[in-house]
Amino acid sequence: MEPGRGAGPGLWRCGRRLLWAASLLCVLLDLQLPGLLASGQAEIENHLEMGRKLLAAGQLAEALSHYHSAVEGDPKNYLTYYKRATIYLAMGKFRSALPDLSKAIELKPDFLAARLQRGNILLKQGNTEQAKQDFEAVLQSDPGHKEAQSQLARLTELEVTMQEARAAYQRTDYAGAIGILERAVEISPWDPDAKELRAECHLLLGDYGQAILDLKPTTKLRADNRAAFLKLSQLYYGLGEHEEALAQVRECLKLDQDDKACFAHYKQVKKLSKQLESAEEHVRAQRYEEAIDKYKAAMKTESQVEVYIVKAKARICHCLSKSKRPQEAIDVCTEAHQWDPRNVFVLRDRAEAYILNEEFQRAVEDYQEAKEFDGENEEVKEGLERAQKLLKQSRKRDYYKILGIRRNANKQEIIKAYRKLAQQWHPDNFQSEDEKKEAEKKFIDIAAAKEVLTDPDMRQKFDSGEDPLDPENQQGGGGHPHHWPFEFNPFGSGNFHFKFHFN
């Protein structure tokens, strides 16, 4: 447009200034662009070099950070994606490596190293169809490629093996299927299908432990494997490991808090776990009656799974033994022993109940049986030694029997029994010499029983199987220097050195 025609001279001058400024900016950019590009490329190269050094030093996380920066700086560089994929693989993150390998192949379709690497990962995942495409692509470009040929042969073997394993499973040959699947898992260790099938075979054969070993890895091999978490929780629950069962079902709910099956199982496990934990807290605090109530409640909560009934019975046995209720303890412990004959703790607790019930021979037998199952258990060894001493002691003098009291009698009960018997058997109550001698013997026994059982130290020794008044136990010094028979005043303050005086 010419000046003066349709526009004023001011507008024309303004337009010329804008064109001049734009031209100047283009010139400046042309001058600076190579420098900017060079600077950016240098930074990318620096990240790649640092990543390489850190990878060589085994610092994988730090190396990965530099490769992230290199990919962001140059998203069209197929090598950068490939190098980051190798870091992921070194870290065991094969699922993260796959997108990088695929991107590298997309940017450079004839990049055989990436194709081979992706094919290897897909084969280990059990994805034979896609893996075959990669191996065949490598062989198309390089027909003599030995690794691609070898992997393609393994792929064919895997397909045949899985077909045979499924056929064995269908005809209920679970042991045979497990044997076949060994090779399948060896070829494709990241294939959840092979491990889940083998876990199912183990379950049908009743081998829960092996089923768990196969199922656990599948929770990481699938992005959302709630079914495996639930199955694991149920297996642990069935084995009596309620804490691990709770941990596994919580993982299921982390993936989907509204999963109905997982939530229903969670409520059951949580309720039982709370009851059992509360019961154990009571046991630790020696509140045995409260503990028994909680264990009974737990048996009502879970009446179908045998292991929890057995566990509760065993712990009630323990509580009854500790709360000095021997006959009840013996009955419950015997029932628990029938459920679980090799339970050392049930045998120990029943042995202690037998001791309270003064059935020392049976206590020895229980401790001996427990020792057969766990010969290194110090508590069992000490218990057996004590039971044997008490059995030997019972064949000599039993101060509790002499006074006619239970082993858990308190001091007041001991003194009351002593006074009653002392009055009954005082030698002055008898006329003939033979009767007086018999009474004197019984009177001495009664007084000795009172002396031992009202002295805390002597009573503790006696309860451990040692007679503190037995001359055999006085050798070597220490203890009470008594001799048996001895002379004392049974109505005195405990001093043994008084003589009887008969009228």
What pLDDT score does 442 carry?
A: 86
CATH code that applies to domain 305-395? 1.25.40.10
Looking at the domain covering 398-503, what would its CATH class be?
A: mainly alpha
| 3-class secondary structure, 143 | coil
- Say yes or no: do domains 186-269 and 305-395 share a fold: yes
Band of pLDDT at residue 499, cut at 50, 70 and 90: very low
Mean pLDDT calculated for residue range 242-247: 95
Band of pLDDT at residue 104, cut at 50, 70 and 90: very high
Interval 375-429: pLDDT, tens: 999 999 999 999 998 888 777 778 888 888 888 889 999 999 999 998 888 888 8
Among 5-9, 32-36, 90-94, 229-233, name the one with the lowest average pLDDT. 32-36
Interval 424-450: pLDDT, tens: 888 888 888 888 888 888 888 899 889
189 CA to centre of own chain: 25
The ranges assigned to domains in the chain are 186-269, 305-395, 398-503
Band of pLDDT at residue 472, cut at 50, 70 and 90: low
pTM of structure: 0.67
Contacts of residue 370, defined as CB under 8 A and 6 or more positions apart, other chains included, come to 344, 347, 348, 351, 377, 380, 383, 384
Band of pLDDT at residue 32, cut at 50, 70 and 90: very low
Residue 33 identity:
L
H-only helix segments in 205-343: 208-221, 226-238, 242-255, 260-284, 288-301, 306-322, 326-339
Pick the most confident of 5-19, 90-104, 147-161: 147-161
Contacts of residue 175, defined as CB under 8 A and 6 or more positions apart, other chains included, come to 201, 205
What pLDDT score does 10 carry?
A: 56
Confirm or reject CATH 1.25.40.10 for domain 186-269, answering yes or no: yes
What pLDDT score does 474 carry?
A: 56
